[in-house]
Structure 1
Amino acid sequence: MGVEDSVTTVDTAADTATVTEAAATVEAASDDLQKYPIAPGYRVNVRVGPGTNYRIVRTLPYGMKVPVYCQKPGERVTGPYGTTNLWDNIANGQFISDAYVHTGSDGYVAPRCD
């Protein structure tokens, strides 16, 4: 038995165009999403998962408004808008507690994250 050599050719121009189109679609979709205000007077930590045990990736400035792409249950947190276990996905792999976001609801305002 012999080993067959295999060569895979990648069309980088086509791949780059596909990635660029996908990024433009995501950006356009985020422009259409409602943005919710963060509680006044708070700078909110953005984490990689739905809990305070997850790593902080950035901190939102005062007065920020955020889109909520999806929501998922996680650690229970108390903030200016009550106590909740809901966490809002505001960007790819970025979550903040719904207790700091004025959504006007105690429940889900976006689909559940997968």
Structure 2
Amino acid sequence: MSVDRAEMVGGGEEEAVTTAAATASVPYYPIAPGVRLNVRSGPGTSYPIVRVLPEGSRVAIYCQTPGTWVTGPYGRSNIWDNIASGEYVSDAYVKTGSDGYIRPRCSS
């Protein structure tokens, strides 16, 4: 991520640098090949779909939480990955290299 100083207004440089640093520290993981992945508003299949990730997408996982059990390309899991505010995907479709939690638990 680059920050264009010409776009900075009113002392926002420090905030932009902090945001860039925070984003850089969150690891990205690939979703299963050939999958268009539903992103839901909560950690389960009963939550509405808010968007669909295209094939070949990579996601940042900010935190993880238990939810509906799902079977996918990477096994059966009840772990749901928070990829943005109010956006969750089943960990069974994300290649994290682990069957368990790899990020902090989401706070309620």
Same fold, TM exceeding 0.5? yes
Give aligned-pair identity as a percent. 62
Shift of 1:33: 1.3
Q: Name the CA distance, whole Å, in 2 between partners of 1:96 and 1:71.
A: 10
TM-score relative to the length of structure 1: 0.77
Residue among 60, 70, 73 paired with 1:80: 73
1:39 aligns with 2:17: no
Shift of 1:29: 1.4
Q: Structure 1: state its 5+ residue gaps.
A: 1-16
Shift of 1:52: 0.8
Q: Name the CA distance, whole Å, in 1 between partners of 2:54 and 2:99.
A: 23
Instruction: Judging by fraction of residues, say which structure has more helix.
Output: 1
Q: Name the CA distance, whole Å, in 1 between partners of 2:89 and 2:17.
A: 24
Q: Name the CA distance, whole Å, in 2 between partners of 1:51 and 1:84.
A: 11
Question: What pairs with 1:28-107 in structure 2 (closer than 5 Å)?
Answer: 28-107=21-100
After superposition, the CA RMSD in angstroms is: 2.0
Q: Structure 2: state its 5+ residue gaps.
A: 1-10
Q: Name the CA distance, whole Å, in 1 between partners of 2:65 and 2:26.
A: 18
Residue among 93, 104, 107 paired with 1:111: 104
Q: Name the CA distance, whole Å, in 2 between partners of 1:48 and 1:27.
A: 25
Q: Name the CA distance, whole Å, in 2 between partners of 1:24 and 1:45.
A: 31
Counterpart residue type for residue 32 of structure 1: S
Count matched residues. Answer: 97
Shift of 1:77: 0.2
Structure 1's 24 and 46: CA in aligned 2 closer, same or farther, altered over 3 A?
Answer: farther
